Amino acid sequence: MDTATFNILNPDQSPSARILVVKYEALNDDDLVRMLERFGHKVVGMTDTGETAIIQALTLQPDLVIMDIRLEGAMNGIRAAVEIRKSSDLPVVFLTPFSDQLLLNEAQKAMPYGYLSKPYNECELRAVVQMALYKHHFDCATRENQAWLHSILQSVSDGVVVCNTR
């Protein structure tokens, strides 16, 4: 998704996003994919293991990762999201049928852009995806502005003195 074209005034007209779906039994469930496609997004990859999710996130460079906390294999979604966030700036939204405080505390370590409890409906999914993309857009813009200001301040070699002549 080209973040420069994100429509602030009308997010419904914002460009479609490329989404990686990492879901327990992902290959047997097309509902999530169908909903995302109805929203105008493109699912660029699908897997049910954390290990494959990391590889696909780095190679496909999606705009958003939707990650189930419970996955096939040895690595859960939280650990996979932490690994993805270490090497890229991809926003992750968690899906889970569980919502206990201990799990929420653990999930926060991955710095997710959203959390959606199963079962969810189409409106809830749309809202969490849209908000995650919107927040990520502004996080990127903020980092760019901070870098720009930092470079300006670093390039100022002379001091500036303001004097009152009165």
pLDDT band at 159 (very low <50, low <70, confident <90, very high): low
Cα 127 versus chain centre, distance: 13
Cα 52 versus chain centre, distance: 17
Q: Which residue in the block uniquely carries the two structure tokens 């293991």?
A: 49
Indicate the domain borders of the chain.
7-155
pLDDT at position 7 is 54
Looking at the DSSP bridge assignments, the partners of residue 95 are 68, 116
Helix (H) or strand (E) holding 60: helix 50-60
> Which superfamily, per CATH, for 7-155?
Response regulator (3.40.50.2300)
- pLDDT tens, residue by residue, 45-101: 999 999 999 999 999 999 999 999 999 999 999 999 999 999 998 999 999 887 778
pLDDT at 9 over 70: no
